[in-house]
Structure 1
Amino acid sequence: MVGRIARVRDVRRRLATDGPPWTRPHERDFETVTLPERDCDLVRDLLIAEGVATVVEVGLAYASSALAIGEALVALDPPNPRHVIVDPFQETAYANVGWDLMRDAGLHSIAQLLVEPSSIALPRLLTGGLVADAAFVDGSHRFHEVFVDLYFLRKLVRPGGLVIMDDVWTPSVRTAVRYYERNLGWTPIPEAFAGGSVWLVDGAPVIRCAAFRLPDRLTEPAFEAFHPF
């Protein structure tokens, strides 16, 4: 167990310090795209505190968050750990660099990469009977695609489970999440990312990541019970 955790932490440390072995040809692409190490630590700690066994992740890229999720699963060592990652661009845009890092960390034994759009993968996972304890979402930032991801994750993540969002400082992501808060009873966990990254939006600080607790039961509101968001 100690050796497995040390292996994951070593890959995480090298990634944060030296960057990935390959990046897309855009200036500071890794720094712009990846989740900062401190936020990754907070994701890991939150998942450990929740005692998760199955996690769905939307978006892999350079694998910073995926490695943190993997570290949580290795530390918890549940009987059947499972980490399902959805990223249609891992091969074509990222040359599999994120998945190679997962393999370097020895996490490929508990992780599964689905190289297809989340709008296709998530409903298929739901049909297949997958039940997750938590989800981490850092995929498309288009409003309609974020909204659809959350629609299916609401059904994939067990009642009372967690959905963790990256880039809630962006209007599209923040607006999509707000629907689920105001209409479906998702509860923010403000302390989860206290001390994490902050962006300035219209001069006001907004946290980069946010965690939400799903209601204890999956129920549908009445048609007329709609709250603008």
Structure 2
Amino acid sequence: MTNGERAARIDEVRRRLHRDGPPWTRGQGLDFETVSLPRPDCDLLRDLLVAERAETVVEIGLAYGSSALAIGEALSTVGSARPRQVVIDPFQQSIWSNVGWDLLRDAGLDRVATQIEAESSTALPGLLAEGLVADAAFVDGSHRFHEVFVDLYFLRRIVRPGGLVVLDDHWAPSVRTAVAYYERNLGWERIPDPFPGGSRQHIGNDPGAALVDRCAAFRVPEPGDDPPFTAFRSFWTERP
């Protein structure tokens, strides 16, 4: 099977998922639409990773698999001889009934993807110890501040210098505040308008707050000495 044929197979599974919905849901109304990255944003994520020529991508949070399929399509489009996709989700079986992983298998991505059913706070140190070097990461796991902060701490050491860290739900104050530390204190560079025309949402889901892009992307800087504690810069973001 050629890379083009692999990408076409993945695209067909993606089309079916967004047209018909997943074969199983938690049964909570519009749960799939609420939890999953919408197809237009998935397309933009795919295009961003293709433009970066990403060959190894780490994703935190699998759920229904919409973003994971887009990442897999990007890897197939790039056509690396050794693509690698690592998806971390401790609840894929217990909460999501393996629906996301089953869709990845339907798309033929189990040949390049590895599923880790563990908390990202324990899975990421293992990947670091293994020596994994990723070109990009997509963060859509726990949205609690301390857990996002820990995810970014390890991804800073896993994603190569110049690579990308993309965050979903950047409208959430907890997510915005966590990444703001790395931006303001460690030199992470925010990429301007990485998802042109993508979804937007009010900060904190407050209609009176600013409207911001749902997803944000940051470039990991070249390694250097960590700044002294005396150079600490406040990273509290705007209130919703």
Question: Normalised by the size of structure 1, how large is the TM-score?
Answer: 0.98
Residue 22 of structure 1 corresponds to 24
Structure 2 unaligned regions, length at least 5: 236-240
Residue 215 of structure 1 corresponds to 221
Query: After the TM superposition, which of the residue ranges 211-220 and 83-92 deviates more from structure 2?
Result: 211-220
Partner SS state of residue 57, structure 1? strand
Counterpart-to-counterpart distance in 1, 2:8 and 2:159:
29
Kindly indicate whether residue 187 of structure 2 is the aligned counterpart of residue 159 of structure 1.
no
Query: After the TM superposition, which of the residue ranges 133-142 and 193-202 deviates more from structure 2?
Result: 193-202
Moved runs in structure 1, 4+ residues, more than 6 A?
A: none
Kindly indicate whether residue 231 of structure 2 is the aligned counterpart of residue 225 of structure 1.
yes
Answer yes or no: is the 8 Å Cα contact 1:155–1:218 preserved in 2: no
Partner SS state of residue 24, structure 2? coil
Counterpart-to-counterpart distance in 2, 1:80 and 1:213:
23
Residue 65 of structure 2 corresponds to 63
Answer yes or no: is the 8 Å Cα contact 2:4–2:76 preserved in 1: no
Match of 1:43 among 21, 42, 45: 45
Counterpart-to-counterpart distance in 2, 1:27 and 1:123:
36
Answer yes or no: is the 8 Å Cα contact 1:57–1:66 preserved in 2: yes
Q: What do you get for the CA RMSD once the two structures are aligned?
A: 0.9
Kindly indicate whether residue 100 of structure 2 is the aligned counterpart of residue 94 of structure 1.
no
Counterpart-to-counterpart distance in 2, 1:186 and 1:108:
32
Answer yes or no: is the 8 Å Cα contact 1:53–1:73 preserved in 2: yes
Answer yes or no: is the 8 Å Cα contact 1:160–1:217 preserved in 2: no
Counterpart-to-counterpart distance in 1, 2:217 and 2:63:
21
Residue 205 of structure 1 corresponds to 211
Counterpart-to-counterpart distance in 2, 1:200 and 1:144:
22
- Structure 1 20/182 Cα, relative in aligned 2: closer, same or farther at 3 Å? same
- Structure 1 79/219 Cα, relative in aligned 2: closer, same or farther at 3 Å? farther
Aligned residues: 229
Residues 151-190 of structure 1: CA distance to partner in whole angstroms, max 9, x if unpaired?
Answer: 0000000111100000000010010011110001011112
Deviation at 1:218, TM superposition (A): 4.5
Counterpart-to-counterpart distance in 2, 1:219 and 1:40:
35
Partner SS state of residue 108, structure 1? helix
- Structure 1 51/218 Cα, relative in aligned 2: closer, same or farther at 3 Å? farther
Deviation at 1:66, TM superposition (A): 0.2
Q: Percent identity?
A: 64
Question: Normalised by the size of structure 2, how large is the TM-score?
Answer: 0.94
Partner SS state of residue 84, structure 1? strand
Answer yes or no: is the 8 Å Cα contact 2:120–2:151 preserved in 1: yes
Residue 86 of structure 2 corresponds to 84
Residue 168 of structure 1 corresponds to 170
Partner SS state of residue 212, structure 1? strand
Partner SS state of residue 103, structure 2? helix
Deviation at 1:25, TM superposition (A): 2.1
Structure 1 unaligned regions, length at least 5: none
Deviation at 1:86, TM superposition (A): 0.4
Answer yes or no: is the 8 Å Cα contact 2:89–2:141 preserved in 1: yes
What amino acid does structure 1 have at the position aligned with 2:51? A
Deviation at 1:223, TM superposition (A): 1.8
